Structure 1
Amino acid sequence: MSTRDGGPAVCNSCNSVIQGRIVTALNKKWHPEHFACNTCRKPIDGAKFHQHDGGVHCVPCYAKNYSPRCHGCGDPITDRVIQALGVSWHSHHFVCGGCRKELGGGGFMEQAGRPYCSSCYADKFAARCAGCGQPIVDKAIIALDAKWHAKCFTCNKCRNPVTDSTFSVMDNKPLCTRCA
């Protein structure tokens, strides 16, 4: 065999002329038996291999020794890696701590080192409105030693929103200046 420039193909490993089948990888030529995994030393068959620290590794050795480990199951991650909360995850193991829905590409909230979808986070951890009892996930009005949705902070008599900075209080409920 010869190279494109007319010279013989020389094995990158043993520096001998290659007769017969040639493995071309990393812009070099190899005898098929000499293009081998740096870990297990077995020839790398097929086109799939990984480079790491200047060496080549077969897919199983790379997965076993160099792939990130999933925080959820401990197994190597050989496909899409999700980096979140300072660790690596398989996409199907990065799930909400409440409903167990995959969080893959979407946003999440963290509580005590666990990820939660926004809905479960609101249900489990968000402050509750003193008016309606529902979670407050946006801006809140803080008054009367409680938190309120803006739409829930209403006059106890006329039910109109209390928007003035001064208001009266009756039975620990707000009263607008007109009803006071």
Structure 2
Amino acid sequence: MFRLTEVHVDSSMIQVCQTRLLAAGNGSRMGFEPWSGGCSGPAHHVLLPPAYHLFTATKDPEGGGHFNCWHCDQPLAGQRYILRDDHPHCVKCYEELFANTCDECHKAIGIDSKDLTYKEKHWHENCFLCSMCKISLVDKPFGCKNDRIFCANCYDQAFATRCDGCGEIFRAGMKKMEYKGKEWHDKCFCCALCKTPIGTRSFIPKNDEVYCSACFEEKFATRCTKCKQVITSGGVTYRNEPWHRECFGCTNCGTGLAGQRFTSKDDKPYCAECFGELFAKRCIECTKPITAVGGTKFISFEDRHWHNDCFKCAQCSASLVGQGFITDGPDILCPECAKAKLMAQHAA
């Protein structure tokens, strides 16, 4: 905002003695500043906008001579006049030739009017008004935009930047928070969840909103499926669910499974040992669980299961993997042993 510097003339200070200069006994001093013999000295004058002074022509104590307007040649005796480049001009000629033009009404600003000026523009006192509300701006702060002048309130309403939070303008002295092309009052730049002003604290953006660290963690941070606490780093994912590494363990024995081989049952993870003990098929020969650890192969026949290494003839212990075999109650026999056993039975 700005404040205006006013330049004007106070006509109450102008004195006119009405004595004609044509009479003998009058003279002139100080260039074109004549005074009458009856006056104590030169006529009073006041400063106008720079470049001229206003005088009143009086009797010439030295006598004789004409004193006329430089432009229209009209006598100036008993009249007010203005010096311009050391030449006297009557008021009318001076105003027509040199007076400033009011930017509002486009009329000349006479020597008896206040000439208010700002950035090479001029106004009558009564014309120096806000372009919107038309209030007088004399002795008031004002703003200028696109060659138009506005009172402080109208300028703010029309042109001031507005807060993206509350929509109100930023007034002088207010703190302004800026982020990604948006601006907020300090009190309006708040966490979207707890509504506490962010101030100088760190924050995290999410979906065109900002959150303080605590609220962002509360609302958006990844949480462990088991302990429900925030996973800050080093978690693992199982079936699209996040876990702390230390929380991801065997459902049965609790052994950590992060980075280890494991098997699942009913969507629950188990270490190989626990899964085998709890759920795996058991070898009919050695009674141990048949697991897939180490790529273990097994053979199944009539709801009975064997490790490959355990699938042997009950008589000669020859491996029957890939071979024909004959069942003999709970046992399995190779063809030779089965034949021998059968012959022995017939002989008996």
Corresponding position of 1:69: 101
Tell me how far 1:32 sits from its aligned partner: 9.2
Closer/same/farther in 2, CA of residues 22 and 65 from structure 1, 3 Å limit: farther
- 2-structure distance, mates of 1:113, 1:130: 28
Greater share of residues in helix: 2
- 1-structure distance, mates of 2:135, 2:26: 55
Closer/same/farther in 2, CA of residues 46 and 157 from structure 1, 3 Å limit: farther
Higher CA-based Rg: 2
Corresponding position of 1:177: 213
Tell me how far 1:125 sits from its aligned partner: 1.4
Closer/same/farther in 2, CA of residues 142 and 34 from structure 1, 3 Å limit: same
> Deviation per CA, 1:6-28, whole angstroms, max 9, x where unpaired?
xx73666xxxxxxxx98976898
Corresponding position of 1:131: 165
The gaps in structure 1 that reach 5 residues or longer are 1-7, 13-20
Corresponding position of 1:9: 25
Tell me how far 1:39 sits from its aligned partner: 2.1
Corresponding position of 1:15: none
Q: What does residue range 22-171 of structure 1 map to in structure 2 within 5 Å? A: 29=60, 34-44=66-76, 46=78, 48-78=80-110, 79-138=113-172, 139-171=175-207
Corresponding position of 2:273: none
Corresponding position of 2:302: none
Number of positions where the alignment pairs a residue of Structure 1 with one of Structure 2: 165
Which deviates more from structure 2 when the two are superposed, residues 84-93 or residues 62-71? 84-93
1:72 is paired with a residue of what secondary structure? coil
Alignment check: 8 A CA contact 1:141 1:147 kept: yes
Closer/same/farther in 2, CA of residues 60 and 26 from structure 1, 3 Å limit: closer
The gaps in structure 2 that reach 5 residues or longer are 1-23, 29-36, 43-55, 217-348
Letter in 2 for 1:146: K
Q: Which runs of 4 or more aligned residues in structure 1 lie more than 6 Å from their structure 2 counterparts after TM superposition?
A: 21-28, 30-33
Tell me how far 1:133 sits from its aligned partner: 0.6
TM-score (norm 2): 0.42
The two structures, once aligned, show a CA RMSD in angstroms of 3.1
- 2-structure distance, mates of 1:36, 1:116: 44
